């Protein structure tokens, strides 16, 4: 029993779906599972990745009231790929608005990758709204992390995918790829912007799992998905996540130290390497850090899914 491999819960349909209007955005949200269960909110990645049907499957639907929403500008939220009033602090405010709208006192906050960044920003702003935290593939949006993924790091491990990522950028602009992509995304050539968005998304998809997944790369090439994902990520990263300083989320850890938390990290995560999760856990010794030894970035790596489901199962008892 203790050695059982935990998997995603079976697919279920939402019992409630709707939109929340905020500052020119219509935020899509859904509720699944048990309306009287323990409330949990799923924060998706990117930013700009949107929620998915799999998001709800990390929680026992008999025990949890699962809330999934699409952050500003992506997924089913409208207007699609809008960068207006779209910052970390706008999203933090949306999470709190949604909690109030749904009349939830406290909820478990679950987030991987950018979802972990947003979870920390939210919890540090509204600590009394958070009952527990389950974080994966920690990303703190610091210069060294952005540089690793978009300039010099993961490029050494996935050279074929990297060649495709840089190919659409003029050779003399390759010393700052974040900036070069930004110029294309904010320029007037729609076709070029679309091609760049697809290249940007394919790069991330290629690096996300231990065994390169052609299916994921194709899925990320969907032009609607890619446009929101690339434009929103680039906008947040150009603006350094709208943080006061790059250590803000580490420096403010004392605000949330008493919240029970599990940090799950793949050893071979090439998007968000384990150094960041390690640094976070050094500042936050009460949180338990679990390193999955044979895993990459995504929540769908076998070991990572197991650890995430184990964490939500354990917190369901508290
Ligand atoms: N972005 C990391 C991130 O949050 C740098 C992320 N990576 N892939 C995703 O999110 C999705 C699976 C949500 C598309």
What would the pLDDT profile of 253-278 be if each residue is shown by its tens digit?
999 999 999 999 999 999 999 999 99
Residue pair 26/78 in contact (Cβ under 8 Å)? The answer is yes
Ligand 1: distance of its center to the CA of 165 in Å? Answer: 16
- Preceding omega of 47 cis (within 30 degrees of 0): yes
Ligand 1: distance of its center to the CA of 123 in Å? Answer: 20
Ligand 1: distance of its center to the CA of 304 in Å? Answer: 15
Catalytic, 113? Answer yes
Ligand 1, residues at Cβ distance < 6 Å: 44-46, 49, 113-114, 139, 204, 208, 271
Specify the pairing of strand 130-136 against strand 107-112: parallel
Tokens 């993924």 sit on residue? 149
Give the C-alpha separation, 44 to 116, whole Å.
Answer: 9
Ligand 1: distance of its center to the CA of 125 in Å? Answer: 23
pLDDT value of residue 211:
86
Question: What secondary structure letter does DSSP report for 71?
Answer: P
Delineate the domains of the chain, giving CATH numbers in brackets. 16-142+242-315 (3.40.50.1820), 143-240 (no CATH)
Tokens 């009952």 sit on residue? 131
What would the pLDDT profile of 80-126 be if each residue is shown by its tens digit?
999 999 999 999 999 999 999 999 999 999 999 999 999 999 999 99
Residue pair 60/316 in contact (Cβ under 8 Å)? The answer is yes
Instruction: Please pick, among 81, 113, 129, 209, the residue that the annotation labels catalytic.
Output: 113
Closest ligand 1 atom to residue 149 Cα is 5
- Residues of the chain with confidence (pLDDT) below 50: 1
Closest ligand 1 atom to residue 52 Cα is 13
Catalytic, 221? Answer no
pTM: 0.98
Question: What secondary structure letter does DSSP report for 78?
Answer: B
Q: Which of 250, 205, 200, 187 is nearest to 228 (CA)?
A: 200
Instruction: Please pick, among 44, 126, 235, 297, the residue that the annotation labels catalytic.
Output: 297
CA angle (112 as vertex; 109, 114 as ends), nearest 5: 100
CA 126 from centroid of its chain's CA atoms: 19
Instruction: Please pick, among 269, 281, 295, 306, the residue that the annotation labels catalytic.
Output: 269
pLDDT value of residue 2:
58
């Amino acid at each position: 029993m203790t050695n059982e491999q935990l998997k995603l819960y079976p697919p279920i349909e939402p019992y409630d779906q709707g939109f929340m209007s905020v500052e020119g955005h219509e935020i899509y949200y859904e509720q699944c599972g048990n309306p009287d269960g323990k409330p949990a909110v799923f924060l998706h990645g990117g930013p700009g990745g949107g929620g998915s049907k799999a998001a709800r499957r990390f929680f026992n639907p008999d025990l949890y009231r699962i809330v999934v929403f699409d952050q500003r500008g992506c997924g089913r939220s409208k207007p699609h790929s809008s960068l207006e009033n779209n910052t970390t602090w706008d999203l933090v405010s949306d999470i709190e608005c949604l909690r109030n709208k749904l009349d939830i006192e406290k909820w478990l906050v679950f987030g991987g990758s950018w979802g972990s960044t947003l979870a920390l920003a939210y919890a540090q702003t509204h600590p009394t709204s958070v009952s527990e935290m389950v974080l994966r593939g920690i990303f703190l949006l610091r210069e060294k992390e952005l540089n690793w993924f978009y300039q010099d790091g993961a490029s050494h491990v996935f050279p074929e995918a990297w060649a495709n990522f840089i190919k659409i950028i003029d050779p003399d602009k390759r010393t700052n790829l974040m900036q070069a992509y930004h110029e294309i995304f904010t320029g007037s050539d729609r076709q070029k912007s679309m091609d760049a968005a697809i290249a940007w998304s394919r790069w991330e998809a290629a690096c996300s799992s231990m065994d390169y997944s052609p299916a994921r790369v194709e899925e990320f090439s969907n032009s609607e998905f890619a446009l929101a994902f690339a434009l929103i990520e680039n906008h947040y990263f150009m603006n350094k996540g709208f943080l006061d300083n790059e250590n803000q989320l580490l420096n403010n850890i004392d605000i949330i130290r008493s919240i029970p938390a599990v940090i799950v990290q793949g050893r071979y995560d090439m998007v968000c390497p384990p150094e960041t999760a390690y640094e976070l856990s050094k500042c936050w010794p009460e949180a338990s850090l679990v390193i999955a030894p044979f895993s990459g970035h995504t929540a769908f790596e076998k070991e990572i899914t197991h650890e995430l489901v184990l964490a939500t199962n354990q917190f369901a008892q508290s």
